Amino acid sequence: MADLFDKFEALTSTREAMPFEEANPVGIVMDEVISPTEAMIDGRRTILAGTNNYLGLTLDPRCIAAAHEALDAAGTGTTGSRVLNGTYAGHKQLEDALANLYGTDQCIVFSTGFLANLAVIGALAGKDDYILLDADSHASIYDGCGMSGATIVRFKHNDAADLDKRLTRLGVEGSRVLIVVEGLYSMLGDRAPLDDLVAVKKKHGAYLLVDEAHSLGVFGETGRGVGQDMGLDDDIDFIVGTFSKSVGTIGGYCVSNHPKFDILRLAARPYMFTASLPPSVVASATKAIEILGSEPEHRERLWRNAKQLHEGLRRAGFTLGADCSPVVAVKVDSPDILVRFWEKLVLNGVYVNLAMPPATPQGLCLLRCSLSAAHTPEQVDTIIETFEKVARMNSVGMPALEPVD
């Protein structure tokens, strides 16, 4: 007899075939958090190099104090959506802080970054509209596109010429077109060529949405993202982001200068029908946004660490996914090598993300590192040394590295 779970047999077989012996990437438990960059995992003190905690703000005393104060004053949750009883003064203050950071007229805060993409993309485009999205876009973007009912057209990753060709071939009115890209792509750590993409957007009169989830706090003079770093903020119609990376908590947002933007509060189902963020989360996010925009030293430390890790792994002979960024992806040749290498890293006290198809672009097998401003130079050296140590182990099946001068 057929069963609802029959469709998962291939996935189950893949999981069961992974050659893990002592550690499993989907079963990792942080038994004790020691700092933004260290935790106890199965009794081992472990350097965390895969948490997306870019600015290291998860344990910032000021963010914690703000959360405590809001918790004491307003309780553990709102028990309602933003359009009912779930908008407190803190939610509006957080939206004002984000609008001030970006210099925009309007901002809407959502309960997660995933929901932000579902809500904004799903509401902006409808059955008579077109969405052109970068082929390597995040799952939340794809799901938002599917929710919209619009005609979906993918263009080659970071290829503005391909975007132009597809828009020209469609021959539709630009005002019915939404182009969706990311500022920094989370798997390989490569940046979008926003200058070229903006030129195409202007040529066709389309709208442009940029997801800055992994670039908020990382790029730009005040940390707005890749758009600010390239001086293109005024040419981007909608910027989506999340609080689960640089902001160190949970939540999402979208900022815009479009005069009709606020109507999304009544059109976006994931906004209307999801309970709003708890006051403590809102307060810590507001404090983190303030820190992010006014204390560039966190960003400077982050980039120092990123350059140290990128250069160290490159010199050791590893093949990296992109130019230097706080996401440093190490390519390996096969799923078996990937699994063994990841496990040996964890058992030797370094946690990174294991990333493999279908979650990765181009079918790549990646050991994905994400750096933090809170990492010390000594910790970064240890990460590099551990990669080299594991690569020398015969048990991982990796060919000998050739160091680069």
Does residue 214 have an active-site annotation? yes
Three-class secondary structure of residue 175 per DSSP: helix
The active-site residue, picked from 111, 137, 148, 186, is 186
Exactly one of 91, 138, 204, 245 is catalytic; name it: 245
Q: Phi first, then psi: give them for residue 219, nearest 5 degrees.
A: -115, 155
State how far the Cα of 99 lies from the Cα of 66, in Å rounded to an integer. 20
Q: Verify whether residue 375 is a known catalytic residue.
A: no
**Strand runs labelled E in 262-339:** 319-320, 327-332
Strands 177-182 and 207-211, by their bridges, are parallel
Contact (CB, 8 A) for 54 and 326: yes
List, in sequence order, every residue forming a beta bridge with 154; answer none if it has no partner.
133
323/317 Cα distance (integer angstroms) = 15
245 is annotated as an active-site residue = yes
- Say whether 58 sits in a helix, a strand or coil: helix
Q: How many helices (H) and strands (E) does the chain have?
A: 14, 15
Omega into 259 within 30° of 0, i.e. cis? no
Catalytic option among 214, 287, 310, 375: 214
**Those residues with Cβ within 8 angstroms of residue 14's Cβ, 6 or more apart along the chain or in another chain:** none
Give the residue numbers marked as catalytic.
186, 214, 245
